[in-house]
Amino acid sequence: MNDDIAKERLEPPEPEPVVLGDIRYEALMWGKARDLGQNGGYIEAFKVSTGESLWVLKIYDIVYDDDMEQDKQDIFIEEMRAVDSGHLLILDEHGRRYKVDVRDMSVDEMKN
């Protein structure tokens, strides 16, 4: 296998949005383009009936090493699913799991 190809970052996952009531939750992929400081690790809530963005929430921090290419350090949300009518389960590319209470926008990392 060519080492250059092996060093290339795979395409980031694009998890399916989750709809709870009239709110759609999506993983926000390219946070840096919106001056959020990192790519990955955010979700955004939209009102289904209007498409209006309601809020953006950071789920986890990414600490970038200045000596490495930043795009290879991005950590994206791999999966989102509803746990019940008020909680989402978020899984990142490193296998970490987070429970998000969408009512008060709190985030808890779940230990394995």
Q: What totals of helices (H) and strands (E) does the chain contain, helices first? A: 1, 8
| Structural domains in the chain plus CATH codes | 11-110 (2.40.10.480)
**pLDDT of 8 over the 90 cut:** no
- Report pLDDT digits (tens) over 34-75: 999 999 999 999 999 999 999 999 999 999 999 998 888 999
Q: What is the pTM of this model?
A: 0.88
- Predicted local confidence at residue 11, as pLDDT: 85
Closest alpha carbon to 76 in 1, 8, 11: 11
Residue 22's SS3 state is coil
Mean of the pLDDT values across residues 81-100? 96
**pLDDT of 3 over the 70 cut:** no
- Is the separation of the CB atoms in 6 and 15 below 8 Å? no
- Predicted local confidence at residue 7, as pLDDT: 57
CA dist 40 and 62 (Å) reads 8
- Identify the band that residue 111 occupies on the pLDDT scale cut at 50, 70 and 90: confident
Closest alpha carbon to 74 in 43, 40, 97: 40
